[in-house]
Structure formats: structure tokens, C-alpha cells
Amino acid sequence: MRRVAALLTTLTLLLASPAIGADGNAFESGVFEPPRAAPDFVLQGSHGSPVVLSKLRGKVVVLAFGFSYCPRICPVTLARLSEVFKNLGPAASEVQVLFVTVDPERDTADRLREFLQFFHPSFLGVTGDDEHLKAVRREYGILATKAASESKKLGYEVHHSSSIFLIDREGKLRVLVPFGRPPESISHDIKLLLAK
């Protein structure tokens, strides 16, 4: 009888419980608290020079992992980021998109430059040797596995994590944007990071 009474009391309290408000977290995507320093790397850039992540401090970095032959995911992500850059207007100059390849075999610096220019001239591709790229992926928890492609022309594709990371001006890994977020939502979170 006591148990029934306790259950009924709990139920009544739950029914009457007030709304739990948001904690002031205004980001629309996934947030890390406390944020950790984004693991640093030095990789070959598609502009011909090495890219050192930590040297981009002062800018908001949008970090994406993918490959230029990706048939479904990467073109969507990059097209959305291109839309984000339009939304940001002049503030876009304070944002750097880094596209880290998961397919160094085919993604040379030249190939990445050619591919990324289609989306935005400022997007920077990065590549390197397989071992080095694997280490970077491990640091960020990115999964990438080679698989046979349905298209004979492609030969193979790489199944990979499709989220993107937002790194703040201080080099902290702050936000994870899951695949499929609308450009407005990504712009919103980038603007918050730019304002801080």
C-alpha cells in the first residue's frame, strides 16, 4: 500500500512539475562542455603550403572530413557551407573552412583545390600521408572505412563520419554539427562563436 501511495505521489508531482527551462545554451547544434583544445595538426594545404590548425587562431574554423569523390554526403555538406558563407556576408572572412580528406590516395592538393573551388574559393582542402591522416581522425573520433562503390567508375568510396566541427577563435573545439542541419542553423552557431 505504501509503495502504491509513493508511486501515486511521484506521479502527481510529475504531473504538476513546472517546465524545466533551457540553461542558456543558445547553440543549435551539439555543444561540448567544457570545450577542449582542438587537436592540432600540420597537413598539406590545397593552396600549396602546409596548413597548421593552431595558426588559424583568431578565426572560427569549420572542420569537415570527407573526400572529393564522395557521391552523397560531402557535396551536400559543402553546398550548405557555401550557403552559410553567403548568409555570413563580410563576416565570412573571419571563418575558415578546412576540408580534411579521408581518401589521400586520390585527393591530391590539386584535386582538392579544383573540387573545393566549385563551392567557395576560400575553402581549403588538406591532405597528407595515410598514417598522419589516421592519427588526426583518431584525435577527433572520426570513422572512415573504405568500401566497394556501386559505381564501377569510382572503384571505391569511403564511408565516413558526416558531422562537422566548429572551432572557436581560441582554438577550442566547441560545436559538433550533425549532417543535415540547415545552413541557417549553422550560420547561427558560427555567428555566436564570432561574437565571443
Partner 1 sequence: MSTVFRLRSLVLVGAVLTLGAITLASVVPIRFESREELFEIPRGTWARRMAGQNVDILPQEIRLVLGIRDILVLRNRDDVPQLFGPTLIMPGQTFRLPFDVASEYQFACTAHVNGQMTVIVEDALTSPWARLRWRVVRIVRRVARRQQGV
Nearer Cβ to partner 1 (80/111): 80
Look up residue 25 and give its three cell numbers: 545554451
- CA distance linking residue 96 with residue 184, whole number of Å: 17
185 binds partner 1 (CB under 8 A): yes
In the complex, what is the shortest distance from the CB of residue 47 to partner 1, in angstroms, rounded to a whole number?
27
Nearer Cβ to partner 1 (33/90): 33
- What are 166's strand-pairing partners? 62, 175
In the complex, what is the shortest distance from the CB of residue 27 to partner 1, in angstroms, rounded to a whole number?
8
In the complex, what is the shortest distance from the CB of residue 169 to partner 1, in angstroms, rounded to a whole number?
20
> Binding partner 1 by CB under 8 A: which of 44, 127, 161, 187?
161
In the complex, what is the shortest distance from the CB of residue 164 to partner 1, in angstroms, rounded to a whole number?
9
26 binds partner 1 (CB under 8 A): no
CA atoms within 13 A on the CB side of 132: 13
- CA distance linking residue 85 with residue 88, whole number of Å: 5
- CA distance linking residue 174 with residue 8, whole number of Å: 42
Stretch that binds partner 1, among 23-31, 44-52, 116-124, 188-196 (CB under 8 A): 23-31
Name the strand (E) or helix (H) holding 166. strand 164-167
Q: Is the peptide bond before 178 cis (omega within 30 degrees of 0)?
A: no
Question: Can you state the angle between helices 183-195 and 73-88, rounded to 10 degrees?
Answer: 50
**Residue type (1 letter), 75:** P
Stretch that binds partner 1, among 9-17, 53-61, 96-104, 115-123 (CB under 8 A): 9-17
Nearer Cβ to partner 1 (14/195): 14
**Residue type (1 letter), 69:** Y
Q: For binding to partner 1 (CB under 8 A), which residues are involved?
A: 1, 4, 7-8, 10-12, 14-15, 19-23, 25, 28-34, 36, 139-143, 161-163, 165, 176, 178, 180-182, 185
